[in-house]
Structure 1
Amino acid sequence: MKTLLQINSSMKGESSQSSKLANDLSDRILSHLSDIKHIKRDLSKDEIPHLDEETFQSFQDDLTDIASGVNDKLTISNDLIEELESADILIITAPMYNFMLPSTLKSWIDFVVRAGRTFQFTEAGPESLLSNKDTYIIMTQGGMSLGTSDDFMTPYLKQILGLIGLHNIQFVYVQGLAMGDDIANKNIEAAYDEIVTFQV
């Protein structure tokens, strides 16, 4: 059985454009693949703690004799990594806040990008430990910089996901959401049309 892992990160939850698009893409994938499991995380409801020094150290040492609060965070990391390892298809929403991705999504990244679990250091440099997966990233923005030289999110996500082995990434950009209904609606419609073309 295949597994679809969906990570929604908008602070608006299900009402956000990025979540609606991700849900639509998930529905299309689920309708095409009969034998598939769907895991969905809404980071606006199920928040992941920010990374702190003790937790980071526990990621490196994987100690059992550590403070219970830190042990809880280590368990969260292990669970999130196991979800990611089991996934065949990954959908991530990444709305732009202040020119960067949501802090909730950054926390998810910090808990799954972990030396010794999803990548490792070698004499030749870092080496990925995850198998490649079909990855879709829905990126939304009030302005018009996504996919340009002023977009800091696209190269970051390519770099950090590539570190752990995810290279087969398709981006869906929805821009101009704060530039009036005509522009917003046109770009939202174009994004839905693009999703229809995906081979799943």
Structure 2
Amino acid sequence: MKTLLHIQTSIFGNDGQSNQIAQSYIQKWQADNPTGAVVERDLISQPLPHMDLAIATALRAPADQRTAADEQVIDLSDTLIAELKQADAIVLGVPMYNFSIPTQLKAYFDLLARAGETFRYTENGPVGLIESKPVLLITTRGGMYKDTASDHQIPFVQQFLGFIGLTDTRVIYAEGLAMGDVGEDSLKTAHDLAKNLA
């Protein structure tokens, strides 16, 4: 049975444009994979703790030196990593907030970055330990940022995913959403692309 992992990061929930485009993809994927399962990881309704000293310490503590609080952090991290490993494909919403990714997504990434679990360093540099699989990134922006120096989102997300081994990424851009007809056309194109890519 195939599994699709949907990571939702829009603060607007089901009304968020990135989530709605993702749903176009998911509906087509489900039609093509009637026995498949969709696993939902909603980082808004089920927020993760943001990185602090306690979390950083727990993620680095040797197994035989962990406290009970450390183990809670590790258990959460293990759950998130297992979801990634078990998925056959991933769809990730990346709305732009103040030129960057949602802070909830950064918290998610921080809990995924585990030396010896999701990456390791070698004499030739870092190596990702998550087996690569298709990842669809859906980014929504009020203005136009694609392929400009102001796009601090997608390059960062792709860099992080590649760092842990997820190098097979595709991107759907829905831009100019605050620019009237430009935004409406961009949204329609994004929905069509989502259905085609599924």
Q: TM-score, normalised by structure 2?
A: 0.94
1:38-67 Cα deviation digits (max 9, x unpaired): 101111100010011222222122536544
**Distance (Å, rounded) in 2 between the aligned partners of 1:15 and 1:115:** 36
The answer to whether the 8 A contact 1:147-1:154 is kept is no
**Distance (Å, rounded) in 2 between the aligned partners of 1:57 and 1:136:** 32
Deviation >6 Å, runs of 4+ = none
**Distance (Å, rounded) in 2 between the aligned partners of 1:156 and 1:94:** 11
Correspondence for 1:92: 92
Gaps of 5+ in 2: none
Correspondence for 1:118: 118
**Which range moved further: 77-86 or 188-197?**
188-197
**Which range moved further: 51-60 or 130-139?**
51-60
Q: Within 5 A, what are the aligned runs for 1:25-174?
A: 25-63=25-63, 66-174=66-174
Provide the aligned length of Structure 1 versus Structure 2.
198
**Distance (Å, rounded) in 2 between the aligned partners of 1:65 and 1:114:** 16
**Distance (Å, rounded) in 1 between the aligned partners of 2:65 and 2:87:** 30
The answer to whether the 8 A contact 1:96-1:102 is kept is yes
Letter in 1 for 2:196: T
1:107-126 Cα deviation digits (max 9, x unpaired): 11111121111111112211
Letter in 1 for 2:19: S
Percent of paired sites with the same residue: 34
Correspondence for 1:197: 196
3-state SS of 2:63 partner: coil
- Measured on the aligned residues, the alpha-carbon RMSD in Å equals 1.5
**Shift in Å, 1:69:** 3.7
**Distance (Å, rounded) in 2 between the aligned partners of 1:52 and 1:162:** 24
3-state SS of 1:161 partner: helix
Gaps of 5+ in 1: none
